[in-house]
Amino acid sequence: MKTKEVLVIGTGIAGCAAALALAKKGIAVTILTSPFDQHVYHSSFIHHDSLEEKIRSLQKEKQEQLNCSRAYEQLMTYASQSVAELLEPNYLVDRRGNIDVHRCLQDQLKQHQLVEWLSNYSIIELLTLDQHSQKKVDRYKKPACIGLIAYDHDTQKVEYLLGKEIILATGGASSLFPYSAHPSTACGNGIAIASRAGARLLNMDQIQFHPLGLFEKDRPCIPLPLGLLEEGGKIYSTKSIPIEIDLVSPGHLLHQLYNQLLKTHSQHLWLDLTLLDHEALKEKYPSLDSYCLAYGFNIVKDPLPVVPIVAYTCGGIAIDKKAQTTLQRLRAIGEVACSGLFWNFREEALSVLESLTWALVCAEDISKQINKFIYYFPDIREGAAHLNSSSSVLEEDWKTLRHIMWFYVGIQRDRAHLERGCSLLDDLFLVNTPHDISSCSIEQIHLYDAIQTAQLIAHSIRAQQGSLFHYSPKLSSFF
């Protein structure tokens, strides 16, 4: 059984930032990457001026009422330092002034000798004292995470990895819905795994929707600026039938477009920018043209297919200022975590700054502890060594899951829809609950995780709505 210093699960901006911050402090890091990992073209590109402007304005801005004051203070204090230590002077800025944050972090990691990459691994479960130690007395100790169970796609074997510290950076759950700004793999697997291990979750009902996304089937939807409508862009139900849009607020616009989709039974609507001043648009929105061209659309000539999308998972695993969860030795960073900060997705630079800041502070805290304390590793109860082949019905169940989330747990959240959605998710959970881990495939485990996260979201929303039938789904571990 392998023992590591620090295990980082996830290779997005948050995971790479945490690993780089640790490596720069002389701590050996093992990064687990999955063959299912996908990174969206637009997600890691932040305009240089936007990032610098946000750092300068944090001290001046009045924080939103939802934000945790201590978390907000930490961001104001360390945002500039995190950028200086983790990105500068390694900025990769294109001719439009965009920083490729993700590539900047990865290029530095690949040059660092203290970083080990375990490619083609999928996490199955977290190892905890109370659930996996052979010593029964360990269940009476303070809850702690001691490692993880992962599936090696190359050898097709289940492996047990022990770690002094484990950092989850697996992303959010926005792709539980059919129209998402993130890859199809962003289905909250890390959230379900942490919940089964006993970590506290927070604000799971907080899913952020964006009214306008560039639609293409089976691909992430690029968020489009709402300013396009203020500039004179027109929405059409078909290419020839315009829709009257009331721009009172983003929330009002979101419901208008969603109801229009239901009314027309369409996959998407159309946004026409062909009559606008395109040079002015390109100057004001420098990335818009390149994003659209990457999808095969020319804003000068073509109307754009658009749809309301899920932009961000605001809730997740509850963490403190040092990214520590309620389980000792388990930390979480990025969209999988809930630090107490809530941002408008249109200001994506803020979520990047949040990830960089928590990565820096987390690494500082780990560096103070890892050589100071003796980490306890008990004998582990091991389960199945192999998994089964995939099932042919999984694709249909994925479609069913996303259909339920969109129509019953999405934008329209009245009591009737939520009650039906929770009931349908509970039924889907029952038929996909494995009776024996050795009879499962890794694809089945991913679906099982996704359904559990969907249940956590749905029941959290229903609880916030004041349902008479409050219910928390029982999450059972595999091992």
Q: What is the pLDDT of residue 328?
A: 96
CB-CB contact of 375 with 164 (8 Å): yes
Give which of 410, 425, 418 is closest to 467, Cα–Cα.
418
What are the respective helix, strand and coil percentages of the chain, to the nearest 5? 40, 20, 40
Q: E strands within 179-221?
A: 201-202, 207-214
Q: Which pair of tokens denotes residue 66? A: 């939802």
Q: What is the pLDDT of residue 408?
A: 95
| Distance from C-alpha of 386 to C-alpha of 39, rounded to nearest angstrom | 29
Radius of gyration, CA atoms only, the chain: 22
Q: What is the pLDDT of residue 67?
A: 75
| Distance from C-alpha of 162 to C-alpha of 171, rounded to nearest angstrom | 22
Give the number of other CB atoms < 10 A from CB of residue 238: 12
Residue 352 CB burial class (10 angstroms; 0-12, 13-18, ≥19): buried
* pTM of the predicted model as reported, rounded to 2 decimal places: 0.91
Give which of 264, 276, 340, 328 is closest to 303, Cα–Cα.
276
Q: Which pair of tokens denotes residue 243? A: 């829709």
Q: What is the pLDDT of residue 204?
A: 95
Q: Which pair of tokens denotes residue 262? A: 């239901």
C-alpha count within 13 angstroms, C-beta hemisphere, residue 246: 6
CB-CB contact of 293 with 300 (8 Å): no
CB-CB contact of 258 with 290 (8 Å): no
For the chain, 479 residues long, the average pLDDT of each consecutive 10-residue run is 92 95 96 75 55 66 66 88 86 70 90 93 95 93 95 92 97 95 92 97 93 88 88 88 85 92 92 89 78 83 92 94 97 95 68 92 96 90 77 88 96 92 96 79 93 96 66 56
Torsion sign, CA atoms 157, 158, 162, 163: positive
Burial pattern 5-22, b for ≥16 Cβ within 10 A else e, equals bbbbbbbbbbbbbbbbbb
Query: How long a stretch of residues is the chain?
Result: 479
| Distance from C-alpha of 232 to C-alpha of 166, rounded to nearest angstrom | 49
3-state secondary structure of 187: coil
CB-CB contact of 270 with 171 (8 Å): no
Give the number of other CB atoms < 10 A from CB of residue 298: 12
Q: Which pair of tokens denotes residue 317? A: 């695993």
- All residues at 6 or more sequence positions from 143 whose CB lies less than 8 Å from its CB, including other chains: 128, 129, 130, 198, 326, 327, 328
Q: What is the pLDDT of residue 385?
A: 75
Q: What is the pLDDT of residue 342?
A: 77
| Distance from C-alpha of 316 to C-alpha of 195, rounded to nearest angstrom | 10
